[in-house]
């Protein structure tokens, strides 16, 4: 069935009046007859004969068709057809953890595919066959964690083709993304009903107050906000402080451990005393901004390092030697510096010198892709720095982002887990159907036929030019 996205352009068909009028207003020229003698002919007045008569019907028809085709192209034609049922078309793969929810979210599409003899399979290892009647039994089974990219790659390793149905929650798309193969159309649906708000952490400040970090997650993103609560004798309006726990009045059942500890930040710098002062200033800025209890110690003697340290900044080329115990450590890496006139990745901070390195996992990089700060998967609390906190090496210590970059290392982003309601950008599913309206009409195949109309119009134009040239020569 032919459908038009902008049918108002069909009014342009009125333009066929132009070639019709031209063909009706046909002027017949008189012919000159050659006779032997003009002596017996009387001179008569010249007469010109005209008549409203259509000639060249085929040429007129082609010209009218060209105008109609132009109007049709402006109206954006599409052809809708319903696929015929076949014995076997392919696989219909649904999320193994929530098959019924997937079914009801995409019911028109799934019903249409099942009616067309598609095989229902589960998105899990082995991709076993499945019927909707088996859903209740699945609820009691232990299913593998969702890892859509990994499972999708396994699905592509099969010889099957068809349709894949999953939700869009970002937490289910861990790992490296892959190119969507045309053999399977990936149809996603929203699995988020409401927003989610919860307490992340709370810590006591050095100003007799408590800072509470609260997360708010929606499909479009997750934000973390902080509120500062002042206490008097352990009590504040709307909040009750009991021992080591803090409870918000709006959610009496939700409690979170209050961090009252003082964090010890130690800086060891023997040959790079200037570097230590820059780091100390950045830590002081973090302390002033967050109001956290921080104890900052700077020394050039290993024996003077604290016994327990939350962070140790080892600003020395010598191997790390410490009598204390550090939970986390950032250490300069020895090596010959090379000229590296570039910048910190995704910033405007200039880099002058760095030590070449391409190992471990990159935390900071420069504009050329070289690693500036790395971490090892086997030792995730040890950071290796391949530049220095010094203006002769880079502009980092002068830049306003320096404290925030350090703070990102000291206080990592919380793991959101199942409370994260963010959804992946649906543009990643290049062959997927992404809205309810498209899902409702999925059983109908829509084909753009504009290219065929263009081809027909071009062919008719060539025929019209040939006929016009031939007619003109024959009348000459």
Residues 413 and 280 in one domain: yes
Q: What pLDDT is stored for residue 18 in this prediction? A: 77
- Rounded to 10 degrees, the C-alpha dihedral 416/422/428/431 comes to 120
Q: Is residue 18 part of a domain?
A: yes
Residue 276 CB neighbours (<10 A): 20
Residues 303 and 410 in one domain: yes
C-alpha closest to that of 359 among 337, 339, 378: 378
Residues 321 and 344 in one domain: yes
Q: Assign 105 to helix, strand or coil.
A: helix
- Digit-by-digit pLDDT tens for the chain (476 residues) are 777 777 787 888 888 787 777 777 655 555 555 555 555 555 554 444 455 555 677 877 888 888 888 888 888 887 776 655 444 568 999 988 888 888 888 888 888 888 888 989 988 888 888 887 766 655 444 445 678 888 888 888 888 888 999 888 888 887 777 777 778 888 888 876 677 887 888 888 888 788 888 888 888 888 888 888 876 655 565 565 555 555 554 455 566 777 888 999 999 998 899 999 999 999 999 999 999 999 999 999 998 999 899 999 999 999 888 767 899 999 999 888 887 788 887 777 888 888 877 667 888 888 877 888 998 878 888 999 999 999 999 999 999 899 999 999 998 877 777 778 888 887 777 644 444 444 444 445 667 788 888 888 888 888 888 887 787 666 65
Q: Is residue 100 part of a domain?
A: yes
Q: Is the pTM of this model over 0.75?
A: no
CA distances 456 to 56, 268, 450, Å, are: 21, 80, 10
Asked if 53 and 26 count as a contact pair (C-beta separation under 8 A), the reply is yes
Of the residues 240, 259, 278, which one is the last residue of a structural domain?
Answer: 259
* Separation of alpha carbons 425 and 220, rounded Å: 9
Residue range(s) defining the domain that contains residue 384: 263-417
C-alpha closest to that of 421 among 201, 200, 175, 221: 221
Residues 291 and 398 in one domain: yes
Residues 272 and 253 in one domain: no
Residue 67 CB neighbours (<10 A): 18
Q: Assign 308 to helix, strand or coil.
A: strand
Q: How many domains are contained in the chain?
A: 4
Q: Is residue 429 part of a domain?
A: yes
> Which residue(s) pair with 412 in the sheet?
none
C-alpha closest to that of 304 among 277, 323, 278, 280: 323
Residues 391 and 311 in one domain: yes
Residues whose CB falls within 8 Å of the CB of residue 304, separated by 6 or more in sequence, listed in order: 297
C-alpha closest to that of 198 among 219, 211, 213: 213
* Separation of alpha carbons 171 and 201, rounded Å: 21
Q: What pLDDT is stored for residue 234 in this prediction? A: 55
Q: Is residue 36 part of a domain?
A: no
Residues 182 and 214 in one domain: no
Q: Is residue 136 part of a domain?
A: yes
CA distances 407 to 11, 404, 461, Å, are: 65, 5, 70
* Separation of alpha carbons 77 and 6, rounded Å: 8
Q: Is residue 42 part of a domain?
A: no
Residue 290 CB neighbours (<10 A): 17
Strands (E), 220-346: 221-230, 235-236, 239-242, 245-248, 255-259, 263-268, 294-299, 308-314, 325-332, 338-343
Do the bridges between strand 50-52 and strand 371-376 make them parallel or antiparallel, or are there none, so unpaired?
unpaired
Of the residues 206, 239, 259, which one is the last residue of a structural domain?
Answer: 259
Residues 278 and 406 in one domain: yes
Judged on CB neighbours under 10 Å (0-12, 13-18, 19+), 99 is buried
Q: Is residue 39 part of a domain?
A: no
Residues 111 and 149 in one domain: yes
Residues 297 and 369 in one domain: yes
Residues 405 and 287 in one domain: yes
Do the bridges between strand 119-123 and strand 162-167 make them parallel or antiparallel, or are there none, so unpaired?
unpaired
Residues 107 and 208 in one domain: no
Asked if 447 and 199 count as a contact pair (C-beta separation under 8 A), the reply is no
Give me 94's structure tokens: 């649904």
Q: What pLDDT is stored for residue 35 in this prediction? A: 57
Q: Is residue 46 part of a domain?
A: no
Please, what's the b/e burial string for 27-65 (b: 16 or more CB within 10 A of its CB; e: otherwise)?
A: eeeeeeeeeeeeeeeeeeeeeeeeeeeeeeeebbebbbb
Q: What pLDDT is stored for residue 134 in this prediction? A: 65
């Amino acid at each position: 069935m032919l459908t038009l996205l902008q049918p108002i352009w069909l009014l342009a068909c009125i333009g066929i009046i132009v070639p019709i009028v031209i063909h009706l207003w046909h002027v017949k020229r008189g012919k000159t007859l050659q006779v032997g003698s003009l002596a017996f002919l009387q001179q008569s007045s010249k007469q010109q004969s005209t008549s409203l008569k259509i000639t060249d019907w085929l040429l007129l028809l082609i010209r009218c068709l060209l105008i109609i085709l132009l109007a049709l192209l402006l109206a954006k034609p599409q052809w809708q057809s319903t696929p015929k049922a076949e014995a076997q078309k392919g696989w219909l793969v649904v999320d193994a953890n929530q098959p019924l929810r997937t079914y009801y979210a995409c019911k028109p599409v799934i019903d249409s595919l099942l009616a067309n003899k598609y095989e229902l399979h589960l998105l899990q290892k082995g991709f076993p066959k499945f019927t909707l009647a088996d859903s209740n039994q699945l609820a009691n089974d232990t299913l593998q964690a969702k890892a859509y990219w990994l499972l999708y790659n396994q699905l592509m390793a099969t010889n099957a083709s068809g349709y894949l149905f999953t939700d869009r929650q970002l937490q289910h798309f861990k790992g490296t993304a892959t190119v969507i193969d045309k053999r399977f159309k990936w149809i996603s649906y929203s699995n988020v009903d409401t927003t989610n708000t919860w307490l992340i952490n709370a810590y006591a400040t050095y100003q007799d107050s408590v800072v509470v970090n609260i997360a708010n997650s929606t499909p479009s993103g997750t934000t973390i906000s902080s509120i500062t609560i002042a206490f008097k004798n352990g009590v504040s309006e709307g909040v009750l402080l009991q021992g080591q726990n803090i409870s918000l009045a709006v959610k009496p059942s939700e409690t979170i451990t209050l961090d009252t500890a003082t964090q010890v930040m130690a800086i060891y710098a023997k040959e790079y005393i200037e570097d230590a002062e820059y780091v100390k200033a950045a830590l002081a800025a973090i302390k002033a901004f967050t109001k956290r209890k921080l104890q900052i110690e700077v020394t050039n003697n290993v024996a003077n390092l604290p016994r327990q340290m939350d962070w140790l900044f080892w600003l020395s080329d010598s191997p790390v030697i410490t009598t204390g115990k550090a939970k986390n450590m950032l250490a300069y890496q020895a090596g010959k510096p090379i000229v590296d006139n570039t910048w910190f990745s995704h910033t405007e901070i200039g880099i002058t010198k760095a030590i070449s390195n391409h190992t471990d996992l990159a935390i900071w990089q420069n504009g050329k892709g070289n690693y500036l700060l790395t971490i090892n998967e086997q030792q995730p609390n040890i950071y290796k720095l391949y530049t220095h906190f010094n203006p002769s090496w880079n502009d980092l210590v002068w830049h306003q982002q320096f404290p925030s970059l350090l703070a990102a290392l000291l206080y990592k982003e919380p793991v959101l887990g199942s409370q994260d309601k963010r959804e992946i950008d649906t543009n990643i599913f290049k062959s997927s159907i992404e809205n309810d309206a498209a899902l409702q009409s999925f059983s109908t195949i829509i084909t753009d036929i504009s290219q065929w109309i263009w081809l027909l119009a071009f062919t008719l134009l060539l025929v019209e030019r040939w006929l016009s040239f031939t007619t003109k020569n024959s009348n000459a």
